Amino acid sequence: MTPSWIRPLRRIGWGLTLILFDVRLGSVDVLPDAIGYILAASGLRAISPGIPSFLWAGRLSWLLVLLSLADPFFAFTFANAEEMRPPYIHAVGQIYFALHAVFVLLLCYGFEGLALKWRALELLQAIRTRRSFYAFVTFVMLLFYPFVFNMDYSDWFLTKVAGAGLIVLLEFLVLRIPFRLSRIKPLKKGGNLDVYG
């Protein structure tokens, strides 16, 4: 790995961090997701040549910037019958959630390619496991979402909490990947690469 890759990878990592963590003052998001997507897009632009998944993730990030600006109006939630929002709000929220999931999966495919190229085999396996689990969980959540409107609050509350917690955990595990890739060091005697951190 050349030093020119370190800063873009860390930019992507910090962008994902800003997307994951919300810092709010009342109802105002002090660190809007749009900033995180812009930061990730700038990192992707620096390393996307020759990596199609990064190129597509970079393009998708700009669409997510626009959608995230309207986040307060269509936040992805399991609303119960007493908190029903207009159908179009739910539809846009679902689209936003699905596009973000595709964005994360594209990043994972790009990270996987880098780990394979740099022969970081232990990290490569971790990326594949996290990508597969993330894809499964987000698919189940998207599939399950329409059914919550016919459920009582007490029935879906624990499912909501468990699903949200699992997504946060998986997003955290994914955002660690670019930081770990940026710390890859070649072994002095050749062979596989060491991953520090």
Q: Which of 1-5, 124-128, 171-175 has the lowest mean pLDDT?
A: 1-5
State the Cα–Cα distance between residues 36 and 13, nearest whole angstrom: 9
- 96-109 pLDDT tens trace: 899 999 999 999 99
* Residue 61 CA: distances (Å) to CA of 30, 43, 88, 111, 143: 20, 11, 22, 16, 23
Residue 151, pLDDT score: 63
**Residue holding tokens 């190129």?**
55
State the Cα–Cα distance between residues 2 and 9, nearest whole angstrom: 12
pLDDT band for 146, please (50, 70, 90 cuts).
confident
- 39-95 pLDDT tens trace: 999 999 998 778 899 999 999 999 999 988 876 555 444 444 435 556 666 677 788
Say which DSSP state 69 is in: T
Task: State yes or no: pLDDT of 145 exceeds 90.
Answer: no
Q: Report which listed range, 16-30, 59-73, 130-144, 153-167, is most confident.
A: 130-144
Beta bridge partners of 193: 186
Give which of 107, 96, 161, 114 is closest to 135, Cα–Cα: 107
Count of domains forming the chain: 1
Give which of 4, 69, 6 is closest to 36, Cα–Cα: 69
Which domain range does residue 52 map to? 3-194
Give which of 154, 148, 135, 114 is closest to 2, Cα–Cα: 114
What is the value of pTM for the model shown?
0.82
